[in-house]
Amino acid sequence: MPAIITENDVSQWDDETGVVYHFPKRYRALLQPDTEVIYYKGRIKDKAFASARLSPEPHYFGMARIAEVCIDKKSDKGDLYALIEGFISFEKAVLAKVEGAYLETIPSNRTSNYWRDGVRGISRSDYYAIIRLADLSATKLTAGEPAFAFDPLAFESANEGDKTNYFGTRYERNKILRLKAIAIHGLSCKACGFNFEKVYGEYAKGFIHVHHLIPISAYGEETAVNPQTDLVTLCANCHAVVHKNRDVTLSMEQLKEMLKR
Ligand SMILES: [Zn+2]
Ligand SMILES: [Zn+2]
């Protein structure tokens, strides 16, 4: 069953449109790997966000697919997050209400509280009705635009892999992998526990290096990187030590062993 996922203009989560979506565990059954989703925004609350939205009215603005669902280890309520793939942003808003009728079929027993749910299962016919109105013929495929500036050096040192290629075609892909790695592994160093925000405060919030456990040069041209198993978050010091010798990349075990002394 396809699902609607609501994105709020202001959120407590580090969600990135088309990349990562956090949700409470009560929606677990609705958001499974391979679920097709449509992104929704409710009516605008703060006019400051007007330019970041396709419409101030409740509307749909993109479609995607759930790749993977993970447990958010930072949540004590058992919250989850979904890794999103294949995000396509609509060229223009598809309004939730067309000629006085909602595109989503509201069950008769839910009329009073239907819109309270941020995640809503919908029928395949409702799903296609929304997509048809999105007029995707005019839409180009995008991978989602993360909100913060991306520093390729913070993702992986350039001596791994081909430099010219690295800063060109891999840029967009790495930006998304970086966000997924942080969503999975968190913002503290996996070797020593260092956290940039804790030590340096607000200014360093969100900063961390993302390290490839397998050097990029060992990959073929378009090998899929699994952010869960192939990437790890490291502080700048630990990352520098891992790559101290250009020809040898230390394993996490070797690094942790050194830290024990
Ligand atoms: Zn560290
Ligand atoms: Zn590295």
Domain residue extents for the chain: 3-138, 152-259
The CA 155 to ligand 2 mean position distance, Å, reads 8
pLDDT digits (tens, 9 = 90+) for 155-209: 553 334 443 333 334 445 566 677 777 777 888 999 999 999 899 998 887 788 8
The CA 249 to ligand 1 mean position distance, Å, reads 15
Q: Residue 75 has what pLDDT?
A: 85
- Judged on CB neighbours under 10 Å (0-12, 13-18, 19+), 234 is buried
- Residue 120 main-chain phi, psi, to 5 deg: -135, 125
Tokens of 105: 């079929």
Return the ligand number nearest the Cα of 239. Answer: 2
The CA 239 to ligand 2 mean position distance, Å, reads 6
Q: Residue 69 has what pLDDT?
A: 94
Which CATH homologous superfamily contains domain 3-138?
A: ph1033 like domains (3.10.590.10)
Q: Residue 173 has what pLDDT?
A: 59
Nearest to 20 by CA among 154, 152, 178: 178
Greatest Cα pair distance in the chain: 70
Tokens of 252: 């996490």
Strand blocks (E) in the chain: 3-6, 20-23, 36-41, 59-71, 80-95, 97-98, 101-102, 119-121, 209-212, 231-234
Q: Rounded to 10 degrees, what is the CA torsion of 63, 68, 73, 78?
A: 70
The CA 192 to ligand 1 mean position distance, Å, reads 4
CA distance 211 to 232: 5
The CA 164 to ligand 1 mean position distance, Å, reads 28
Tokens 């790890």 -> residue: 232
Mean pLDDT of 81-91: 86
The CA 261 to ligand 1 mean position distance, Å, reads 14
**206 CB neighbour count, 10 Å cutoff:** 12
Return the ligand number nearest the Cα of 243. Answer: 2
